[in-house]
Amino acid sequence: MLTKCKSALGLLAVLALALGAPSASAQLASGSKQIDEPNGAYSATKTFAVYADDDPANPAPLAGNLTYVYTITNLPTSFICIIGLDMEVPSGSVTAAGFIPGPGIDPSATIVAPTVVEWDWLAPFICPGEMSDAVFVQSPFGAGGVADNLVSLDGEFALDAPGTCVGPFVSPAGEAMPCTIGFWKNRADEKPGTLQHFADPLFDQIVTAAVALSMGLFADEAALLEALGSQGQRTIQERGLQQLAALFLNLAAGDLAPENQKCKLFEGNSITSNACGTDISVGDAVNQAKVDILGDNAAQHHAQECADDINNGIGVVD
């Protein structure tokens, strides 16, 4: 749990998020909960909403990340002011955090440490009857269980108390889980065991997105699927285009289905060392492969081997 005093002041609240499966609604999940300080010093209402990165309603979208949005209202029956919120997160799980200006009170500081996100309201406090502006966390991690994230909302007189919430914790959307050309070929052929991961119409959307990511290498969906399914004796360029087709499908799956437990890749993933190079990003490697596949024979070999390594997860880390 978190135990932190700020200028001899403190207060506590619990965030209880419940992140469900993506739906057609504007938010992945939303709700509110009243939190009562154990000594009766305050009562606060917490509201939350969780958004996908491509949700038009997302107030702070970031590609490859979910956005977790919170507000805290200090009820008029409270006796003290709120001055801070801390939330524990897995190491390195938060891409960014901040606040959204609105009718409430802006935090005076937002601090992102490896395992804690902290918002301070030191000037002014959130006093009884007042509400914070929305604060947010952007994370490629999906939500854990109700007891996975520890929180502390600090207020006056060091009245801190532990709590738990559902926050960024498990199934990181940024975790590289690329699939080989074999998986994607089987999915395109509707083989058993592959439809469960990318059922129609999601697969069609992924193919369309993959074509867009190819930046003209594939003229349309039919051209990409034709390259993916190629077989027999082929040129190195044709073999490279097959690997690139699968690579673009992996990237598109990461964008459109980051919570899926199969076939997802992100341009921000790192490559420690493989045929693409050493200590580079997947995005940089893909951009180079796009150029190489249209180059001379040696360059085409490089593109094919690079894409093959990425699709097999060789050297690819979060």
101-153 pLDDT, tens digit each:
999 999 999 999 888 899 999 989 999 999 999 999 998 877 665 566 677 77
Query: Half-sphere exposure (CA, 13 Å, Cβ side) for 142?
Result: 16
Alpha-carbon dihedral 152, 155, 156, 159, rounded to 10 degrees? -30
Q: Which of 168-172, 180-184, 216-220 has the lowest mean pLDDT?
A: 168-172
Mean local confidence (pLDDT), 304-308: 97
Q: What is the pLDDT of residue 292?
A: 97
DSSP percent split of the chain into helix, strand, coil, nearest 5:
25, 30, 50
Helix (H) or strand (E) holding 292: helix 282-292
Six-digit token pair at 249? 């499908």
Q: What is the pLDDT of residue 148?
A: 65
d(CA 137, CA 91): 14
User: Hey, where are the domains in the chain?
Assistant: 29-170, 181-317
Task: Dihedral sign for Cα 50, 55, 58, 61, please.
Answer: positive
d(CA 98, CA 59): 11
Q: Which of 29-33, 92-96, 118-122, 202-206 has the lowest mean pLDDT?
A: 29-33
Has residue 56 got a pLDDT over 80? Answer: yes
Q: What is the pLDDT of residue 209?
A: 95
Does domain 29-170 match CATH 2.60.40?
Answer: yes
Q: Say which residue, 175 or 253, is predicted with more confidence.
A: 253
Q: What is the pLDDT of residue 163?
A: 64
d(CA 292, CA 311): 17
pTM above 0.75, yes or no: no
d(CA 66, CA 62): 8
Task: Dihedral sign for Cα 34, 102, 120, 149, please.
Answer: positive
Q: Say which residue, 91 or 96, is predicted with more confidence.
A: 96
Amino acid in position 252:
A
Q: Choose among 285, 242, 268: nearest CA to 140.
A: 268
